Amino acid sequence: MSSELIGVWIGAFLTLGIFSFLYKDNPFYKFSEALFVGVSAGYWFVVTFWQYFLPKLIDNLVLAYTVLTSQGRVDYHWVYLLGGGLGVLMLLRLFPTVGWLSRWSLAFIVGTTAGLQFTRYLESNGIKQVQGTILPLIVGGSLNTTVGNIVIVVGTFCGLIYFFFSKEHKGAFGGAARVGVWFLMITFGALFGYTVMSRMSLLIGRMDYLFQIWLGLY
């Protein structure tokens, strides 16, 4: 039995374990689940170590140290000590008395996110979308495009009205909000229907794995 064949058997065994969950929770599934969680957490830890920790921190500090010893000058790579310091603060969470120090590191991350995403969202979700919705309402020679453009502009307009929080959805305003929800519902339905095909492809792929690769039935 080759190692690949053993691999296929293990894979098939675990696949069935996951599928058995469809009937009900059982030891077979619990085993697959526990193994899955453990292996994935270990995998992610190792990948983080080799691909982020080493190149982003250790390599930079080693470089700083080499420059210091070989050329006798302090170069900018030492700033990574600060980053490392913020990281070490995270580990202080393990000790209840000094754990609050980790808030500095958390604050650094949250602050970065807030500042970066503020402009990003206004640009890509705000201005770009307005730009994309600026469409001519009358397109000469194409009734199709004309109707399409008008529906898009009206739909976007009503959809935005739906998201108003500080005004009661009553009267004409409420009517427009309702039209907005209709547009949202059409889209949600369409997205649902559109996804069925790719989900079925996944199942077909697994069935192929079980029947073709594992059992060799066809």
Q: Which of 66, 106, 175, 215 binds other proteins (CB under 8 A)?
A: 106
Among candidate residues 7, 29, 19, 11, the one with its CA nearest the CA of residue 209: 11
67 lies in the binding site for other proteins (CB under 8 A): no
74 lies in the binding site for other proteins (CB under 8 A): no
Cβ neighbors of 137 (< 8 A, separation 6 or more) are 146, 149, 150, 153
126 lies in the binding site for other proteins (CB under 8 A): yes
Q: What's the closest the beta carbon of residue 217 comes to other proteins, in angstroms?
A: 8
**Window 149-188: contact mask with other proteins (x via CB under 8 A):** x-xxxxxxxxxxxxxxxxxxx----------xxxxxxxxx
5 lies in the binding site for other proteins (CB under 8 A): no
Measured CA to CA, the distance from residue 84 to residue 61 in angstroms comes to: 9
Q: Which of 62, 66, 100, 175 binds other proteins (CB under 8 A)?
A: 100
Q: Which of 75, 104, 175, 215 binds other proteins (CB under 8 A)?
A: 104
- Which residues from 16-45 bind other proteins, rule CB under 8 A? 17-19, 21-23, 25, 30-45
Measured CA to CA, the distance from residue 130 to residue 121 in angstroms comes to: 13
Buried residues in 23-38 as b, exposed as e (16+ CB within 10 A): eeeeebbeebeeeeee
15 lies in the binding site for other proteins (CB under 8 A): yes
CA dist list (Å): 72 to 9, 58, 65, 75, 195: 59, 20, 10, 10, 61
User: HSE (CB half, 13 Å, CA atoms) of 51?
Assistant: 6
Measured CA to CA, the distance from residue 180 to residue 161 in angstroms comes to: 7
Q: Which of 62, 66, 75, 112 binds other proteins (CB under 8 A)?
A: 112
84 lies in the binding site for other proteins (CB under 8 A): yes
Give the three-class secondary structure for 124: helix
Q: Which of 131, 171, 172, 216 binds other proteins (CB under 8 A)?
A: 131
Nearer to other proteins, 68 or 156 (CB): 156
Number of residues that bind other proteins (CB under 8 A): 149
